[in-house]
Amino acid sequence: MLVSSFCMRRLAVAVLLALAEAEEVIIKRDVCILGGGSAGTFAAVSLLDRGKTVVVVEPKDVLGGHTATRQFHNGSYIELGVQGVFWDDLSAAYLERLRIHFKILRFKGSHTDYVDFKTGQKVTSRDGSSIPPLKLVPHIILYSLALLKFSYLNKARYDELPDPVPEELLRPFGEFAAKHKLQKPLVDFIFAFAGGVGNLFETPLLYVLQNFGAPHVKALMRGYITPVTGMHEVYSRAEEVIGRDNILFKSKAWGVVHQDDGTIAISITGGATVFAKQLLVAFPLTPENTEPLDLDESERALFRKWRWKGFYSAIVNTTGMPDGLDVINEDPDQRHSLPLPPFLGQLQYMGVPGYHVGRLVADSDFEPRHAHYHILNDVLRMKNTYPDLTPEIVVIADHRPTSMSVSVEDIRDGFYRRLYEMQGRRGVFYTGSSLCSDYSSVIWNYTAKVVNMMVGERRVTYGY
């Protein structure tokens, strides 16, 4: 039955390819890139700079993935997604390549309230009080020293994991925190970066370190940068470089066939067919996303192992709440008062009076239609704490899927080794948050490596 279904699908694709050829809806390129987010856009610019022809297939009407910038009439803006990137060689070189002026990213909140979002009441007695940022430095240094043994994670990806994977990385982060006596202020700080994993203390250490490990600490110490006019500029400038004729917006691949001459034929919604020498898959490798790919059963079985989280961000009109205030969610019933999914981690002031950003973390089975309701109700409960508060959600962004992971059993069984072994097989390459930490700078660094593989070059990753 599986063989029959597979053959029928290939036959259907072949017939439609023939129809496409008859209608001459044909695009020929060196590389077809599926996904115009952080990874796909960077790859397109890099490949063009190497003299390759490309076409990017993007489901949305803009490039940028998790990036979502809301502009206001007075020239101010709020980031719903990515706020900035590491101040490292590659990131700076990429922004300069796109002719983007950047600045140091500074957080706008000037003071913090701690509130139980289940009740809307301030938490008057915390399990360990907050401390000024400078006093966190010794804690972060001790944390960094504890991570030295995991030097193979210094690039925030999985391709240098030892085999077998050290058991400590597969144990819950809570055990690591207890072993190294991590204090609440540091745990809170880690949670601010790694909260997307959901239940921090029960998450395998490996995945917590992929969200806040050695490279993230290094970046934090050096600083983050962001375009002067907002992160959206990265993608508007990249679109100019790539060219609109090389981007298929509001499009998806619905079928992929490897032809006898080595060419890869990609059928696109809307009627176009792309014939490419190579295919770069730059979206999260979920079973649904990878369904159109021409995979064998072992490859599909690998992708069926993925787990992920839901992540939603919203701009909330918080008239009546003090400007400059960050409101942190603390659940007194949980360990270290860290909330469990689904939870709104905080209301963050982003520098525009009257508005805050809320970010909701949920399990993969959380209904997206409930995100608006959950966020608004959490804020409404705070009216007793902030009596003049009249909240309204201005816009909400759905970032699913995030925090891609697999079970510890699958990690032990060599999941990541087999995943990276797929690179270049039959001209297909992979990049993005399934293969490395979901930070733009990390994704760009890994994508630079993949581009080098595609063009058969060895060069420093930040060389433009």
Quick one: tokens of 306?
């993925």
Task: Tally DSSP H helices, then E strands, for the chain.
Answer: 16, 20
Q: What share of the chain is helix, strand, coil (3-state, %, to 5)?
A: 40, 25, 40
Rounded Cα–Cα distance for residues 3 and 10 (Å): 11
The DSSP output letter for 372 is H
Phi, psi of 312 (to 5 degrees): -130, 140
Amino acid at 1: M
Rounded Cα–Cα distance for residues 100 and 393 (Å): 31
Question: What pLDDT is recorded for position 269?
Answer: 94
Question: What pLDDT is recorded for position 457?
Answer: 73
DSSP states of 43-81: HHHHHHHTT--EEEEESSSSS-TT--EEE-TTS-EEESS
- Kindly provide the residue ranges of all beta strands, DSSP E only, lying in 399-448, ordered along the sequence: 402-405, 428-430
- Neighbour-count burial of 298, counting CB atoms closer than 10 A to its CB (0-12 exposed, 13-18 middle, 19+ buried): exposed
Question: What pLDDT is recorded for position 216?
Answer: 96
Question: What pLDDT is recorded for position 21?
Answer: 52
pLDDT per residue as tens digits for the range 433-443: 999 999 999 99
Question: What pLDDT is recorded for position 128?
Answer: 42
pLDDT per residue as tens digits for the range 10-20: 555 555 555 54
- pTM exceeds 0.85, yes or no: yes
Question: What pLDDT is recorded for position 10?
Answer: 59
Q: What is 2-64+231-306+406-455's CATH superfamily?
A: FAD/NAD(P)-binding domain (3.50.50.60)
- Domain-by-domain residue ranges, the chain? 2-64+231-306+406-455
Question: What pLDDT is recorded for position 463?
Answer: 46
Q: 286 with 367: CB under 8 angstroms? A: no
Quick one: tokens of 395?
């816009």
Phi, psi of 344 (to 5 degrees): -95, 110
- Neighbour-count burial of 251, counting CB atoms closer than 10 A to its CB (0-12 exposed, 13-18 middle, 19+ buried): buried
Q: How many CA atoms lie within 13 A of 400 on its CB side?
A: 20
| Low-confidence residues in the chain, pLDDT < 70 | 1-24, 108-109, 125-132, 458-464
Q: In terms of DSSP bridges, do strands 355-363 and 307-317 run parallel, antiparallel, or are they unpaired?
A: antiparallel
Q: How many CB atoms are located within 10 Å of the residue 64 CB?
A: 23
